[in-house]
Amino acid sequence: MISRITQATTDRLVASDPGLVRLRLAFSAVLSIVVAVLAILPFHQPLTVTLVAAIAAMTSAFTVNDDTPGKQAVTLVLALVLGAASLTAASVGSAVPPLDSVVFVLLIFVAVYAQRFGSRGIALGSISFFLFFFAMFLQTHLKQVPVLLLALTIGIAANAVVRFVLVRRHTDAEFLRIRRAFRARLAAVVRAAEDHLAVGGSERTRKRLRTTNARMHESVLLIEDTAPEVTGADSANRLRRRAIEVELAVQWLTITVQRTCAEDLDEDVCDDLIARMRRFRSLIERDPRELPLISETEEFSKMLVEGSRIDEHAAPGDGVRRALAELALADVRAQRVAEHDVSEALDDTDDPEDPEDPDEEKSSAFAYDNQTRSAIQAVVGGGLAVLGGELVSSQRWYWAVLTVFVVFIGSSTAGATFVKGVRRLGGTLIGIVGGLVLALLVSGSAPATLALILVCVFGMVYMARVSQVIMAFFITSMLGLLYSLLGTFSIEVLWIRVAETAVGAAAGVLAAVVIVPVRTRAVMLDDVSTLLDELDEFVEKAAGLLSGAENVSVIEKSRDLDRAVDKVRTTIEPLTHPVNLSSRRDYGWHVLTTVETIAFRARHVAARSQAGLLVDEADRLLLYTWRIRANIAMLGKAIGDPGGSGHGTLVRDDGTPVADRIDDPRARSVLTSLGHLDETVIALGRVFGVEATDPEPSGKG
């Protein structure tokens, strides 16, 4: 019993952080602080200077996330230069008020605008802003600049030592951890399916199925991203295909379970299905290196034999039994490729990698777009925050400006800014209580205070990608402990912190709503248009591959489509968030569900497509895909001009499945998947009010 609980707990921990990436980042941040503090101790500097070194180490560990060590080294050097300028400006500004507030607000524009330059821009903008903020928080002076620059150098160097020497990223070990997380999340989906079937279907278990499927999808994307770093291009392509097949099999199992719940099942049948899923889960909750493949177990053979006989002897619950058999087979294939068993791929033709596009579009240094609008809004919000913050406290107005910066980083719409503001305020309120309790518990004990500060830093970095509320809680608790360490802690200071956060959140939301506002729906429509462009290219390349005209990687194209869906998901969050009580919430969920289904159907096509598979039916295939692409173009035109008219209608299939005209089972499978994709495009048209009509009789065949 204890071992089972331990195993379940371990699975949850592994599944919650695939590859232990967040754990590595959080540990690196804490270790960087420790190394920085130990390195500066021999210089016998005051506490404020030591804290600057610690803050420089923490922010560089937290924000520098370039994809290669070389790029990370360049970003750290640039961070040193910009950080030095930021500390100097803050120290000069403190001596000549209100210069500090003017520079701080202008710095918001630079930091928010820098997001257009990707991860490096975000890192450099954030580091510059936070160093300026902490310089005001620590009340540094101009005469301290030389030692502050020394502390900055030590802090960034400490992070470099940790990043490149002490806690290096080992891709092989990380890939294995991602595979473990993949299997743990696979087990979580099956467990959720068991629960859904056990209760006959409920909204709670349906939501859990959706959540576990989304988390498994994250693991699949991580496998696809990491595989090329640890294996050859051919093996990486095979593994990508097999991982997608497992994901598709899991999603089909959940769909089948939900359909089965709508049937009138006997209790014995239901118990049998649950027992089968439980047994299957016990086979997959294992370390992929240490135990035999599922295919070496008796249960696996039994699953496949029973699955193959279902059509001959249909019985209640057979849909779930067959889905389990298909999932078992897909899992075995994926394991074999992951263990570099190339013999498994002898009957498999994979797509090549697309060559890197030398003309890949890059962000323009100067352009007026949504990012520029956000930067302008942030400046206005920062100015309002300074005015409001001064009314609350003339000494701690910078807290309000910090909140404006936080709510605008990563936000491109008024709705996103509002949601982040609510989360920030909620986390701060909870953090006030936590900071108060912690500060009272360790009052007078510097070692205990330092230890709790490190715990808060760990929690802040570890939860940053998971929950903004929890991250804000750890930040506020950490700052309360810093006040205690500096000897300025009081309940009044903490409540000023809450008031300043509220002022900053209100200023940010007001600026986002009033100043050149960017509506969530407008950005969502742009993102959906981009998604349709990616879908059109995917269908075109898939048709070229299947007809033998081209030899391209449709797996890569499906990944581009996944990224487009992720962007829609991020943009649409304000519409689906619980704080949105309007009717648009259902509309947002409808859009999101439909575009996710499009990505799901496209992965079906990508997983089954092989070069020249339909070369004998090339003309018919091209006619079929031409109609799908025409529908996509028509839908894109309607979305691009939502208030216009005369866009025409989408055209349905003639009702005769193209797959029925093909004898090859593999070809039929691909065409069936294309047919489902076609239906989903029609469904997306309904979401946006674009009607569909049947084709003219002459268009059949």
- In this model, does residue 291 exceed pLDDT 60? no
pLDDT of residue 81: 95
pLDDT of residue 501: 86
**Longest Cα–Cα distance in the chain:** 88
pLDDT of residue 571: 85
pLDDT of residue 128: 93
* 58 contacts 457 by C-beta, under 8 angstroms: yes
- In this model, does residue 28 exceed pLDDT 90? yes
The whole-chain average pLDDT of the chain stands at 80
pLDDT of residue 86: 93
Q: Which positions ≥6 away from 148 have C-beta within 8 Å?
A: 49, 52, 87, 91, 135, 140
pLDDT of residue 538: 92
pLDDT of residue 581: 57
- In this model, does residue 344 exceed pLDDT 60? no
Distances (CA, A) of 689 to 82, 114, 583, 686: 50, 38, 16, 5
Q: Residue 127 — φ and ψ, nearest 5°?
A: -60, -45
- In this model, does residue 660 exceed pLDDT 90? no
Let me know how long the chain is: 701
Structure tokens at 178: 């991602």
pLDDT of residue 346: 35
- Read off the pTM: 0.78
Measure the CA–CA gap between 493 and 472, rounded to whole angstroms: 17
Tell me: the pLDDT tens digits for 196-254?
A: 988 888 888 888 888 888 888 887 777 777 777 766 666 677 777 777 888 888 888 88
Q: pLDDT tier at 285 (50, 70, 90 boundaries)?
A: low
Q: pLDDT tier at 654 (50, 70, 90 boundaries)?
A: low
Residue 399 C-beta-side C-alpha neighbours within 13 Å: 27
- What's the Rg (C-alpha) of the chain? 28
pLDDT of residue 263: 78
H-only helix segments in 138-264: 145-161, 171-198, 203-230, 233-261
Tell me: the pLDDT tens digits for 497-523?
A: 888 888 988 898 888 888 777 778 888
| Averaged pLDDT for residues 149-175 | 90
- In this model, does residue 700 exceed pLDDT 60? no
- Phi-psi domain of 62 (left: phi exceeds 0; alpha: psi -120 through 50; beta: other): alpha
pLDDT of residue 644: 58
Measure the CA–CA gap between 469 and 578, rounded to whole angstroms: 14
Find, among 145, 220, 168, the residue nearest to 189 by Cα.
220
* 244 contacts 558 by C-beta, under 8 angstroms: yes
Tell me: the pLDDT tens digits for 366-384?
A: 666 677 888 888 889 989 9
Distances (CA, A) of 278 to 195, 198, 282, 535: 10, 12, 6, 37
Q: Which positions ≥6 away from 282 have C-beta within 8 Å?
A: none
Find, among 535, 502, 568, the residue nearest to 576 by Cα.
568
